[in-house]
Amino acid sequence: MKTKICLFILMIFFVASFTAVAQTASDKPAPAANQPSQPVDSDTELRKAIESSGGSETQIIVNLENYLRKFPKSEHRQEIENEVYKLAVKLRDRDRVISYAEKLLDANEGNIDALTNLVTMLQERKGQDDLKVALTYANQLVRQFEGIIASSIKPKRISAAQWEERKQQGLASVYLLRGRVYADLGNDEKAKADLTKSLGASLTAGAALVMGELAEKRKALDEAIEFYTKGFVIALVTNEEIDLKAIRQKLSQLQTAKTGSETGLGDRLLRTYDAYIKERDERLAKLEQPNINEGTTNALDFKLTKLDGSKLDLVTLSGKIIVMNFWATWCGPCLTELPLFEKTMARYKDDKEVVFLAITTDEDRELVAPFLKQHKFNLPVVYADYLNDFFKVNSIPTTIILDRKGEVAFRQAGYNPRTDFTAELSARIEEAKKKRME
């Protein structure tokens, strides 16, 4: 069913595109009568190519290739080749992935996806000169990726630590890919250098296992056992696609060759597991703010962090109306709504029954204070500290009013420019105030 849907979407995309081309072409002067011209594209032929595939992804590749042979000057050749490439990747059709990835790179040498799949398929195919060609593309991939990392700007929605983690994972992948090619070419020194970089950037089972193979090749049994054990543990914890049974057998063989039996292998696995879990937990702690409200089941039991690092216990606000606006520095509509929230707050500045909180959901907390200063906001800002998860806030901005018992009296997701935000929020506050605690 999914295949049929994908093919239907593909057909709509191409036919619509070709119709636009045909309309554009109609504005051009017609060729002279003695100069017959071959059509550049045909939406009828394309529709036939797609519909006659019978839902088979393999057949649609063949049909699209036949279409391009019939219309070699198609103005949408690149789009069609890109679709054939995607289908070939999905079907793991090595020869076609290699062929079409090279076509895509001719059009855009910075296509990281095409480079990655091209190196992978060449390394797997191992035909004549495939590995040498794979190394050329692997070098290009590493250069391209290192350039992207050096010039890229951190997205606002993630913290600096999260952004660094993503970059390191990407570097680990490209170094591992080139390291594997070097290993297959027998250049163990360069393979080891790339694999060491890969493991330094991010621990993966793949890199650890190739390092194990290199150590085994050098007859360094203890080092081989160390890396195979590390790869086994990482794959076990992360579900990285590794043949665990084969690695288990390899560990047994090496341990027996080294000591005469498997004795001590279990203890080694446990030590490696403990060390990996410790390293992983320390890394994750840097990626996310610690959840100081873990296990909290009542909104008023939450503790929220202020900009100065001090804590606000919501329980101290029991019996009051709490007006919360969840926002973020990257949110465009928030920039429109926050001044209105501030205006509403000013209306209630003398009302001791009502408390306002501007709750930022930013992962990167370092962005918040400069943002407030830039836009001259004077708001009681606190960090969400997972209160947004508690309320299942899925869109920003979101405004929530809690009554005196801490129960939700009003909730609005998103900013509605068609209403008077200040008037509407004020009305909702007054309704919440009328409700008395039982």
Bridge partners (DSSP) of residue 313 are 303
**Sign of the C-alpha dihedral, residues 149, 155, 160, 161?**
negative
The sign one gets for the Cα dihedral 304, 310, 316, 322 is negative
Going by the DSSP 8-state scheme, the letter that residue 319 receives in this structure is: T
Residues 298 and 243: their CA atoms lie apart, in Å, by 45
What is the per-residue pLDDT for 36? 55
The pLDDT value recorded for residue 12 is: 43
- Residue 435 has a pLDDT of 80
Strand segments, DSSP code E, in 341-428 are: 354-360, 381-383, 398-402, 408-413
Give the whole-angstrom CA distance, residue 320 versus residue 327. Answer: 22
The residue type at 331: C
Task: Decide the pairing of beta strands 354-360 and 321-327.
Answer: parallel
**SS3 assignment, position 326:** strand
pLDDT of residue 20: 45
Quote the CA–CA distance of 164 and 180 in Å, as a whole number. Answer: 24
Token pair 């998860």: residue:
389
Q: What is the pLDDT of residue 437?
A: 56
CA dist., res. 380 & res. 375, Å (int): 14
Burial 371-399 (b: 16+ CB within 10 A, else e): bbeeeebebebbbbbbbbebbebeebbbb
Is the pTM higher than 0.75? The answer reads: no
Return the SS3 of 356.
strand
- Cα 413 off chain centre by: 25
Q: Using omega within 30 degrees of 0 as the cis cutoff, is the peptide bond preceding 397 cis? A: yes
Amino acid at residue number 228: Y
| CB atoms inside a 10 Å sphere around CB 93 | 19
> Can you give the pLDDT at residue 187?
97
Q: What angle do CA 362, 363, 364 make, to 5 degrees?
A: 90
Give the other-Cβ count within 10 Å of 401's Cβ. Answer: 21
Q: 42 with 73: CB under 8 angstroms? A: no
CB-CB neighbours of 122 under 10 Å: 25
Instruction: Give one DSSP letter per residue of 99-116, joined into a string.
Output: HHHHHHHHH-TT-HHHHH
Buried b (16+ CB within 10 A) or exposed e, 263-289: eebeeebeebbeebeeeeeeeeeeeeb
Low-confidence ranges of the chain (pLDDT < 50): 1-16, 18-29
pLDDT score, position 11: 46
Outline where 29-76 has alpha helix (H): 43-51, 57-70
